[in-house]
Amino acid sequence: MPVPKRKTSPMKRDQRRAHHDKITAPNVVPCPNCGDVMLPHRACPACGHYKGRQVIKGNVERARVVVFDLAGKIAVVTGGSRGIGRATCVALAEAGAYVLVNYRTNAEAAEETLRLIRDAGGQGELLGFDVADPEAVDQAIKQAYDKHGKIDILVNNAGISIDQLLLRISPKDLEMTWATNVNGALFCAKACIKTMMRKRQGRIINLSSVVAESGNPGQVVYSASKAALLGVTRTLAREYASRGITVNAIAPGFIETDMTSELTEAAHQGIIEQTPLGRIGRPEEVAAAVVFLASDEASYITGQVVRVNGGMHV
Ligand SMILES: NC(=O)c1ccc[n+]([C@@H]2O[C@H](COP(=O)([O-])OP(=O)(O)OC[C@H]3O[C@@H](n4cnc5c(N)ncnc54)[C@H](OP(=O)(O)O)[C@@H]3O)[C@@H](O)[C@H]2O)c1
């Protein structure tokens, strides 16, 4: 025999509904910028305001939400004049960091990076030096430290690629690649770590490459230098963890920059075929990973390799 349904009194039903609404209703708060409702710890859907500031003032269409807040941080980006370095400078500045844009020879391109930083509402300055020259590195980092009182973030991005089969590689090409890609990163890390240790905090992010792990015919010296950077990353992570400094690497796949602009159409097509996401990457997609690793949210990540390669090497 079916059990008769118990009747709920209208008063009890209203009480239950009120309780349900209370526990399921989002805990909205008024936006301090426009007064519309927003969820705490989220951007206001009406005006883009987040954590007390609107990221790009007066341009709501281009406004980007600051997910990782780097306000007050001083960042050095080597090779910031072009490609991944430029996108990284702009992304760090958009997240609130003051960015020191390094370049070697191309002052005009570095000026353009600075203009993009300012257009995005960020701040920074140029800091030209050759990463392969240890005296120039020490002098520039000391100058930056004296002016700003600290260096929070170092992005070792400057790099060159001289592509040749082993049998055609000259000792000079080998030396130049090593001097920039490996020694350059070590000189910059050494100079910055000295300043970071005083503050017992710091972030170092080294730009390695997918070919460090996969290898690539015609890139023996380049891939060796990028694999060396992974060793540098893991060792420095262990050496300086106790001083509050994290050291990580990013290994990009093929990214649309000057470095890859000379690829033949066939090579371009071959890369796309080897990449599960079916396309070449954009510098901004690498820069986003740099911003994350530089942020407080990445505080328990050190000695790791973040692969930004469209699935090319898994
Ligand atoms: N593009 C890719 O597909 C790809 C893939 C994996 C990894 N990466 C790595 O990502 C980094 C950036 O690559 P990219 O494609 O953006 O390169 P890019 O467009 O060729 O730019 C290279 C940057 O490095 C600077 N640079 C070179 N030698 C330097 C030195 N001795 N001292 C100071 N700065 C120097 C250049 O400065 P100037 O403008 O003054 O010459 C330029 O800003 C490199 O380490 C590269 O190996 C790139």
pLDDT at residue 274 in the model? 95
Q: Tell me the CA–centroid distance for residue 83 and ligand 1, in Å.
A: 7
Q: Tell me the CA–centroid distance for residue 156 and ligand 1, in Å.
A: 10
pLDDT at residue 104 in the model? 98
Report the nearest atom of ligand 1 relative to the CA of 161: 47
Q: Is the pLDDT of residue 272 over 60?
A: yes
Among positive and negative, which fits the CA dihedral 109, 115, 119, 123?
A: positive
Average pLDDT over residues 95-116: 98
pLDDT at residue 20 in the model? 54
Instruction: Return the structure tokens found at 3.
Output: 């059990």
pLDDT at residue 78 in the model? 99
Q: What is the DSSP string of 274-306?
A: H-TT-S-B-HHHHHHHHHHHHSGGGTT--S-EE
Q: What is the DSSP string of 14-61?
A: HHHHHHHHHHHS---EE-TTT--EE-TTS--TTT--BTTB-SSTT-TT
Pairing, β 37-38 against β 123-126: unpaired
pLDDT at residue 53 in the model? 41
Between CA 309 and CA 296 the distance in angstroms is: 24
Segment (H or E) for 139: helix 134-148
Q: Is the pLDDT of residue 57 over 90?
A: no
Q: Is the pLDDT of residue 130 over 90?
A: yes
Task: Report percent pLDDT > 90 for the chain.
Answer: 77
Known active-site residue 222: yes
Instruction: Return the structure tokens found at 8.
Output: 């709920």
pLDDT at residue 40 in the model? 62
pLDDT band, residue 197 (cuts 50/70/90) = very high
Q: 158: which residues sit within 8 A by CB, 6+ positions away?
A: 78, 79, 85, 102, 104, 131, 180, 184
Query: Which amino acid is present at 70?
Result: L
Average pLDDT over residues 49-61: 47
Least trusted range by pLDDT, from 30-39, 80-89, 102-111, 279-288: 30-39
Residue ID of nearest Cα to ligand 1 atom 25:
79
Between CA 95 and CA 232 the distance in angstroms is: 27
Q: Which residue, among 123, 110, 113, has the nearest Cα to 71 in the 3D structure?
A: 123
Between CA 185 and CA 193 the distance in angstroms is: 12
Q: Is the pLDDT of residue 124 over 70?
A: yes
* Residues 57, 121 contacting (CB under 8 angstroms): yes
Task: Report percent pLDDT > 70 for the chain.
Answer: 83
Q: Is the pLDDT of residue 16 over 80?
A: no
Q: How far is CA 42 from CA 17, 30, 91, 228, 284, in A?
A: 27, 12, 19, 40, 23
Segment (H or E) for 250: strand 245-252
CB atoms within 10 A of CB 11: 8
In DSSP terms, 156 is beta-bridged to 206
Tokens 């090497």 correspond to what residue? 313
pLDDT band, residue 8 (cuts 50/70/90) = low
pLDDT band, residue 24 (cuts 50/70/90) = very low
Instruction: Give me the residue spans of the domains in the chain.
Output: 23-55, 68-308
pLDDT at residue 67 in the model? 86
pLDDT at residue 214 in the model? 97
Active-site pick, 98, 103, 145, 222:
222
Q: Is the pLDDT of residue 185 over 80?
A: yes
Least trusted range by pLDDT, from 62-76, 166-180, 298-312: 62-76
Q: Tell me the CA–centroid distance for residue 181 and ligand 1, in Å.
A: 9
pLDDT at residue 19 in the model? 57
Q: Tell me the CA–centroid distance for residue 193 and ligand 1, in Å.
A: 22
Q: How far is CA 233 from CA 197, 200, 236, 252, 288, in A?
A: 17, 18, 5, 15, 19
Q: Of residues 211 and 40, which shows the higher confidence score? A: 211
What's the length of the chain?
314
- 136 CB-side CA count, 13 A: 13
Residue of 78, 84, 256 with the most ligand 1 atoms within 8 Å of its CB, for mutation: 84
Query: Which amino acid is present at 75?
Result: A
Q: Is the pLDDT of residue 54 over 50?
A: no
Average pLDDT over residues 295-300: 98
Pocket of ligand 1 (CB under 6 A): 78-79, 81-85, 102-106, 109, 130-132, 157-161, 180, 184, 207, 209, 252, 254-255, 257-260
Determine phi and psi for 243, rounding to 5 degrees.
-100, 10
pLDDT at residue 7 in the model? 63
Q: Is the pLDDT of residue 140 over 50?
A: yes
pLDDT at residue 6 in the model? 60
Residue of 108, 163, 259, 280 with the most ligand 1 atoms within 8 Å of its CB, for mutation: 259
The dotted CATH code for 68-308 is 3.40.50.720
Between CA 51 and CA 40 the distance in angstroms is: 9
